[in-house]
Amino acid sequence: MRSPVHSYLLSLHETVCGTDPFAATRLSRHRTVAAAEPEAHAKVLYGADPTRMGIAMTMADGHTYRVGDAGVEFSIQSISKVFVYALALMDAGFDAVDSKIDVEPSGSAYNDISSESGSGRPKNPLINIGAIAAVSLVRPDEGQTVFDRILETMSACAGRDLSLDQDVYEQDLAEGAHNRGLAWFLSSWGIIDGDPGDAFDDYTRQCAVSVTAADLSVMASTLANLGVNPVTGRRVFTEDVVERVLSVMTTCGMYDDSGDWVATVGLPAKSGVGGGIISVLPGQLGIATFSPPLDEHGNSASGIIVHEEMSADLGLHFVRAATVGRSSVRAHATIDVVHSTVRRPMEADLVLAEHGDHAHLVELVGDIQFAGFEAVSRLIGELDDPLCVVLDLTKVDNLAASTLDSLHRLAAAMDDAGIDLSSIDPDDLLEEHLEDLGIESFRLRYAALAWAENLVLRHFGDESCFYSPEYANAPMLDELQPEDRRIVVDLLVQQRYREGETVRAIGDRFDGIRFMRSGEVRTYSADGSLLAVLRAGTTFGEFAMNPDGGQPFDMIVTRDTTLDFLPAEEIDRLMVDHPSTAAALWRSITVNGYTRLAQAVRGEAQFH
């Protein structure tokens, strides 16, 4: 089955790639994005192909989606500032870093001399002057250079060994007079201790590290995961460091476009003149894009639109998004473990035990946002040869609009793959969407599981797996020899019950055995829980012969029902007049009872 998330990203990629990055304006659904600047592209992108476009998204559990040119390498440039600032906080401590770098938005371009009057302290660590100050605060281990430590840390965030692009480094070094001047400016104020040329060189090197959009999405997800790389499980940064870094990214990451970004995308982010942008949804995911043409702010023009569209389509803006997506799947089981409580022939039980793992029940919980439902989609996409899936929404509080869109994509993908989908929806969360979704919906779990069981039985079984709507004789009696069956049938009394009537109540003494000809009877425990659904061909009454001598559950007619009743006194008489027939009857009743017990035990299994 195709991934609905991957399909969405492919569609978005195709849409964005179909527009001209050098057009006069780029219209997103929220605002007009400034044109990409061919001159800026020619100057800072080192001959990169302006038609390149890659999108990657890494979830909090480490799964990465990639489309387009997500595997193409380019220089990380200013995106490196995020990780070096985090490293400076780790190495030098908050007080030392704060004394030399502020955390205020600059409101100006990335290369301006934005510093505090009277102290020279840079406005924030994500503009060039602040990033040069940050690199001077990195403390390498013994035997390491500052850049060694930076590269090691960024590699740990990416989950693979990154490397320096020597050509980019040398070009930036040759054209870096402005940044060299910023380093000397910082030195003059005492912000940089030691040789400012070293800080300039290390900063130039950190910006020339080669990455892909896929790398950056893992690095962003490491921040989303509070400093733990979701792929390797390695902790890179402490939680308090990540909290500070994400806060500064929110207000300063997109330079003088940061205000518009927060209003429209609403995610901590950072861009680089290499054409990359990362954004982070804490606790859930990291997104990265690569598209070289830049807008007037030095941000990737197409990349901005991708992040805006994803935020809007998937409900990622921080004011709407939930905190953790992986908790949305409460439980997952197959119907060889859980079943509907519908009483079925023994042949059906054998088929369900063997092939029930082709039908799945996925129970969701809480407020379902995009990241939570992505986990559901991926779980379904990774199932081995599924026949059908039931989504249990009983414990769901809310389905976000983005989740409903994702459900539409999932339903379409499952339909294409020939996988049936249904829901358990007692609160009618999908009521207005069922026609568009084209799925079955049930209010009760037993009904949805019965639907799934029927699909499995039709696919892997035959007619012996189904009781007929009406029986002339109870199937349990068919196990008897013809003469024994004739004797028992002659003793049966026909009974009829209307919907809503009680056939047996808790505590009733044993009065005989009933064989269902037609209709439906449900059994309920003392607390009102549904225990079983009985239909034509099933038998009940013998459980009242328990040691306590009373009926253990209520039996309520839910559809007009016809029964064949074998009274207790006739059973006593049978044991005297026809002992061999009585023995055969009790043998059949015992086999039936054990079969039902096996079904009940299977139904009581808790799924995880």
Q: What tens digit of pLDDT does each residue of 444-495 get? A: 888 899 899 999 999 999 988 887 665 655 667 777 888 998 898 889 999 9
Distances (CA, A) of 187 to 27, 30, 119, 132, 180: 43, 43, 11, 11, 11
- Residues 336-355 as b or e (16 or more Cβ within 10 Å = b): bbbbbbbbbbbebbebbbeb
Q: How confident is the model at residue 106 (pLDDT cuts 50, 70, 90)?
A: low
Mind giving me the DSSP string for 342-358?
Answer: B---HHHHHHHHHHGGG
- Secondary structure string (H, E, C) spanning 385-429: CCCEEEEEEEEEEEECHHHHHHHHHHHHHHHHCCCEEEEECCCCC
* Whole-number pLDDT of residue 312: 92
Given a cut of 50, whether residue 201 has pLDDT beyond it is yes
* pLDDT at site 603: 47
Residue 363 token pair: 């129970």
pLDDT at site 454: 94
At residue 340, the pLDDT reads: 83
Residue that wins the pLDDT comparison between 89 and 485: 89
CB atoms within 10 A of CB 181: 14
For the residues 228-257, what does the mean pLDDT come to? 93
pLDDT score for 44:
41
d(C-alpha 503, C-alpha 380), whole Å:
42
Q: Which residues make beta-bridge pairs with 115?
A: 122
- Output the pLDDT for position 606: 41
**Residue 24 — very low, low, confident or very high, per pLDDT cuts 50/70/90?**
very low
Decide whether 4-314 matches 326-464 in CATH topology.
Answer: no
pLDDT attached to residue 42: 34
| pLDDT of residue 245 exceeding 70 | yes
pTM: 0.77
Q: How far apart are CA 268 and CA 99, in angstroms?
A: 23
The pLDDT value given to residue 48? 78
The DSSP result for 28-65, as a single string, is: -SSSEEEPP-HHHHHHHSTT--TT--EEEEEETTS-EE
Predicted confidence at residue 165, as pLDDT, reads 96
Residue that wins the pLDDT comparison between 32 and 227: 227
Question: Which helix (H) or strand (E) segment is 67 a member of?
Answer: strand 64-68
Q: Which CATH superfamily is domain 4-314 in?
A: DD-peptidase/beta-lactamase superfamily (3.40.710.10)
pLDDT-based confidence at residue 108 (cuts at 50, 70, 90): low
Instruction: Using pLDDT thresholds of 50, 70 and 90, give the confidence band for residue 592.
Output: low
Q: Report the alpha-carbon angle 65-70-75, nearest 5.
A: 135
What percent of the chain clears pLDDT 90, i.e. is strictly above it? 60
Calculate mean pLDDT across residues 301-318. Answer: 92
pLDDT at 531 (0 to 100): 82
Distance CA(88)–CA(124), nearest Å, equals: 13
In angstroms, the CA 425 to CA 445 distance is 9
Predicted local distance difference test score (pLDDT) of residue 86: 98
Range in 26-35, 195-204, 297-306, 369-378 with the lowest mean pLDDT: 26-35
Is the Cβ–Cβ distance between 589 and 571 less than 8 Å? no
Which whole number is the average pLDDT over 11-16? 94
Can you give the residue ranges of every domain in the chain?
4-314, 326-464, 475-604
> What gap in Å lies between CA 454 and CA 440, rounded to an integer?
13
User: What is the pLDDT confidence band of residue 595, given thresholds at 50, 70 and 90?
Assistant: low
Mean of all residue pLDDT scores within the chain: 87
CB-based burial, 549-574: b 16+ in 10 Å, e otherwise: eebbbbbbbeeebbbbbbeeebbeeb
Q: Which helix (H) or strand (E) holds 14?
A: helix 4-17
**Bridge partner list, 530:** 524
Task: Among 34-48, 154-168, 497-511, name the one with the lowest average pLDDT.
Answer: 34-48
Q: How many CA atoms lie within 13 A of 123 on its CB side?
A: 20
CA distance 449 to 344: 13
User: In the prediction, which pLDDT does 327 show?
Assistant: 61
**Statement: residue 502 has pLDDT above 80:** yes
Q: What is the mean pLDDT of residues 363-379?
A: 90
Helix (H/G/I), strand (E/B), else coil: 466:
coil
Residue 565 parent element (H or E): strand 554-567
Name beta bridge partners: 271: 277
Residue 276 and residue 77 in contact, taking contact as beta carbons nearer than 8 Å: yes
Cβ neighbours for 410, distance < 8 A, ≥ 6 positions apart: 4, 373, 376, 377, 380, 421
Indicate the pairing of strand 388-399 with strand 359-368. Answer: parallel
CB-CB contact of 72 with 55 (8 Å): no
* pLDDT greater than 90 at residue 415: yes
Cβ partners under 8 Å of residue 545, min gap 6: 510
Can you name the CATH fold of 326-464? Transcription Regulator spoIIAA (3.30.750)
Tokens representing 198? Answer: 């070293």
Decide if pLDDT at 25 tops 60. Answer: no
What pLDDT, on a 0 to 100 scale, did the predictor assign at position 468?
64
For residue range 148-177, what is the model confidence (pLDDT) as tens digits? Answer: 999 999 999 999 999 999 999 999 999 999
- Span 420-431, pLDDT tens digits: 999 999 999 998
- In the chain, % of residues over pLDDT 70: 88
User: In this structure, are residues 544 and 523 in contact, taking their beta carbons and an 8 Å threshold?
Assistant: no
d(C-alpha 422, C-alpha 442), whole Å: 8
Helices 213-224 and 146-158: crossing angle in degrees, nearest 10, is 90
Retrieve residue 318's tokens: 């921080």
Rounded mean pLDDT, 206-214 = 98
The stretch 274-294 carries a mean pLDDT of 95
Per-residue confidence (pLDDT) for residue 598, from 0 to 100: 54
Residue (of 487, 465, 430) closest to 537 by Cα position: 465
Enumerate the H helices of 225-274 as residue ranges.
239-252, 258-264
Question: Which pLDDT tens digit goes with each residue over 341-360?
Answer: 777 888 898 999 999 999 99
Q: Which CATH class is domain 475-604?
A: mainly beta
Q: Residue 182 is which amino acid?
A: L
